[in-house]
């Protein structure tokens, strides 16, 4: 057991080591996941990636600002943590284990199930949220794919009709330039 004097010394040594690492440009910081009950950390779990907590983006227009506020509010509701201060939100991270595809979706892709963390959130409401969000995303993706196929088919028909019209115009031109014997004038 360390005596009080040794504790003070060990703290001084640690702060000195940290200072030396910061001075040399190398910072050894362990990142912990902010989700309650998640034990993932950067030093031990090499197969896990860590992502920042969503923040409000105010310099990209009103639409992006509103969407980022909405995402941050829903994010905080999804992880259901009490006592999160702005300092914690600024510095803490969430691990890839809480996203279906292992990383958060783009801010503008609001219908993507990875727009918010949905897996292993430490509470019971995440199971219902996963099926709802995943189902909604799959239905939307199917609608977009069907619409794209329909648009492509419509464009093919239009192109085909234009080819037919061009061909018939050439035929009319060729037939009007011929005399009765079939020779061109």
Listed residue (125, 136, 128) closest to 79, CA to CA: 125
Looking up tokens 């057991």, which residue turns up?
1
| Residue 174 to residues 161, 164, 180, Cα–Cα distance (Å) | 20, 15, 13
pTM for the full predicted model: 0.53
Reported as a single tens digit per residue, the pLDDT across 130-152 is 567 677 778 888 898 889 998 98
pLDDT in the model for residue 184: 57
Sorted by sequence, the CB contacts under 8 Å of residue 85 that are 6+ apart come out as: none
pLDDT in the model for residue 63: 92
Q: What is the DSSP letter of 184?
A: B
The rounded distance, in Å, linking the Cα atoms of 129 and 101 is: 16
The rounded distance, in Å, linking the Cα atoms of 14 and 182 is: 102
Residues of the chain with pLDDT under 50: 1-21, 126
Sorted by sequence, the CB contacts under 8 Å of residue 115 that are 6+ apart come out as: 71, 104, 105, 109
């Amino acid at each position: 057991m360390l005596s009080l004097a040794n504790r003070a010394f060990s703290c001084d040594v640690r702060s000195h080591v940290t200072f030396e690492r910061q001075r040399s440009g190398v910072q050894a910081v362990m990142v912990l996941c902010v989700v309650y009950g998640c034990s993932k950390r950067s030093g031990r779990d090499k197969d896990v990636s860590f992502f920042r907590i969503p923040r409000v983006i105010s310099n990209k227009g009103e639409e992006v600002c509103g969407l980022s506020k909405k995402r941050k509010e829903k994010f905080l509701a999804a992880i259901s943590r009490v006592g999160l201060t702005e300092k914690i939100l600024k510095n803490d991270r969430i691990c890839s284990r809480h996203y279906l595809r292992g990383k958060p979706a783009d801010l503008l892709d609001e219908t993507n199930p990875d727009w918010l963390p949905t897996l292993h959130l430490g509470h019971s409401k995440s199971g219902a949220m996963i099926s709802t969000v995943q189902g909604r995303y799959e239905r939307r993706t199917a609608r977009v794919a069907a619409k794209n196929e329909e648009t492509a088919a419509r464009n093919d028909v239009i192109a085909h009709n234009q080819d037919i019209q061009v061909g018939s115009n050439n035929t009319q031109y060729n037939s009007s330039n011929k005399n009765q014997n079939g020779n061109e004038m």
